[in-house]
Amino acid sequence: MAIINGMLRRVLSLGALIAALGFVATMLAAQSGEQEPAPRFSAKTLSGEFFNNQSVRGKVVLLQFWTTWCPYCRREQPLVDDVQKELASKGLIVLAVNVAESKKTVRKYLEEHPRSCRIVLNDDTNLPAMFESKTFPLYVVIDRDGNIVARQEGAGGKAALYRLLSRAGLISSEDGDEDEWIPKPETPRT
């Protein structure tokens, strides 16, 4: 029995090592700029529009996974809507995917807190399962070629949204707005 227990510990240790190496490889690939193709998805908005990988080809997609009970989602809602309005002409599509709430709950919330971006319900898409959205808000950016180029868990403000979108080439420092969206380091007081 002691031999089996010893072998089992070695196998489990080897499994943990392999998992850790896989995690490190994934992190290095993300840092090296390798891009991962977006999984095949479909989404239907509350207004009845359909989106999938083919229909968004040539556009930049910002996915915002949110809930009505999340205070950070609520705080960032106007920022996401503003970014969508500002950059729609450059090819941005924003899909605000509500996660795990009923249509009735979301509609009631939207009556009190209207949104200008497209709203997708959990029942009308496979996106929440694909991106394992458990932290809110969760942002994912898909570039014009259909690759995932950025992901952010949690709120970060307008500057963070612009940084994410810059990874898809939607905006750059040449746009002249960089001073507005990239915070400058504070000068130490003397």
Residue 97 has pLDDT above 90, yes or no: yes
Q: Which residue has the tokens 């990239």?
A: 182
pTM to 2 decimal places: 0.76
- Percentage helix, strand, coil for the chain under 3-state DSSP, each rounded to 5: 45, 25, 35
Residue with the bigger pLDDT between 75 and 182: it is: 75
In 3D space, the residue among 59, 57, 127, 130 whose CA is nearest the CA of residue 97 turns out to be: 127
Domains of the chain: 36-181 (3.40.30.10)
β-sheet with 147-153: strand ranges across: 36-37, 147-153, 138-142, 60-66, 92-98, 118-125, 42-45, 50-52
Confidence of residue 27 (pLDDT cuts 50, 70, 90): very low
Cis amide leading into 137 (omega within 30): yes
User: How many angstroms from the chain centroid is the CA of residue 21?
Assistant: 25
Structure tokens at 152: 């952010």
